[in-house]
Structure 1
Amino acid sequence: MWTWGGGFLSEAGYSDYAGSGIVHMAGAAAALAGVLLLGARKGKYGANGQINAIPGANMPLATLGTFILWMGWFGFNGGSELVVSDVSSANNVASVFVNTNASACGGLIAALLLGHILFGKADLTMALNGALAGLVAITAGPLAPSPVVATLIGAIGGIIVVFSIVGLDKMKIDDPVGAISVHGVVGIWGVLAVPFTNSDASWGSQIYGIVVIFLWVFVMSLIVWGIIKVAMGIRVSEQAEYEGVDVSECGIEAYPEFTKS
Structure 2
Amino acid sequence: MTRIRPITVFAALIVPLSSAIAQPATPAAAPAASEAQAPLEPFVAQYKVYKGTRELGDATLQLVRQPGDRWRVDLLMRGAGVFRIAGVHADQSTVFDVSATGKTYRPLTQATVRRLAFTRRQTIGLYDWNSRSAHWTGDVKASRSRPVALQPGDMSGLLINLAVIRDAAPGKALHYRFVDDGRVRDHQYQVAGDVESMGAGDMRFDTLRVGRTGHAHGDETLLWVADGVPTPVRILQRENGQDTYDLRLVEYKGIQ
- For normalisation by structure 2, the TM-score amounts to 0.28
- For normalisation by structure 1, the TM-score amounts to 0.28
Higher RCO (C-alpha 8 Å, min separation 6) = 1
Q: Which has the larger radius of gyration?
A: 1
Structure richer in strand, relative to its length = 2
Structure richer in helix, relative to its length = 1
